[in-house]
Amino acid sequence: MKVYFKDGFKGMSGKNDDSIFYYHSKCGVCIVRSKPEFKPNATTNKMKQIMANLKLLNPSQSYKQNFADYLDDYNALKEMRGNQLVSWSNVYLKMLFKMAKVNSEVNLLTLTREQIFADNLPCKSLKAAIAAGLLPIVDGYERFDDEI
């Protein structure tokens, strides 16, 4: 269910019974969803290990800024309406998981900076990732050439 307000609805967020609701300022909508139940299992454990390993990649500040700058252009794309991303890290993770899906030799559990440069993986720069088809092309994407 999507809720729309005419006069803005910026001050309300929180929990009520089994629901969580908040105003998403970038998309301009109020989001209401059921409160998630966390049940640890093999999948959540594997995802936890993947995220811990990806944190060890420690991308450079200029690399992060490239993703932050790309985010505005990405969200402005016609096909992204309604599926906008909020943070540079969302784009970063989307790229990494798509790379792992496309290239079966890439294992996100064991990925290292050294492997990225040794195997010349497209995630070493945003420009290379866009050229490899991991993310949609935006105008002027050639400027995003800072390395991880």
Separation of CA 117 from chain center: 22
Beta bridge partners of 14: 21
Query: Which of 111, 104, 116, 145 lies closest to 128 in space, CA to CA?
Result: 145
CB count in 10 Å sphere of residue 141: 19
- Same structural domain, 75 and 8: no
Q: Are residues 28 and 53 in the same domain?
A: no
Tell whether 137 and 98 lie within a shared domain.
Answer: yes
In a domain, 102, yes or no: yes
pLDDT at 106: 86
Residues 97 and 127 in one domain: yes
Q: Within a domain: residue 53? A: yes
Q: What is the pLDDT of residues 112-129, one digit of tens each?
A: 888 888 888 888 888 888
Neighbours of 137 (CB within 10 A): 11
In a domain, 109, yes or no: yes
Domain match, 50 and 22 both: no
Considering the domain architecture, whether residues 56 and 18 belong to the same structural domain is answered as no
Average pLDDT value for residue range 125-141: 87
pLDDT in tens, 9-32: 555 555 556 777 777 666 667 777
**Domain match, 113 and 138 both:** yes
- pLDDT the model gives residue 112: 87
- Examine the domain organization and report whether 53 and 32 are in the same domain: no
For 67-101, the pLDDT digits (tens) are 898 888 888 888 877 778 888 888 899 999 999 99
The fraction of the chain above a pLDDT of 70, given in percent, is 85
Do residue 6 and residue 67 come from a single domain? no
Q: How many domains does the chain have?
A: 2
Q: Which element (helix H / strand E) includes 12?
A: none
Quick one: 32 and 49 in the same domain?
Answer: no
Rg of the chain over Cα atoms, rounded to whole angstroms, equals 18
Q: Which domain holds residue 21?
A: 1-37
Are 25 and 64 found together in one domain? no
Over 80: is that where the pLDDT of 35 sits?
A: no
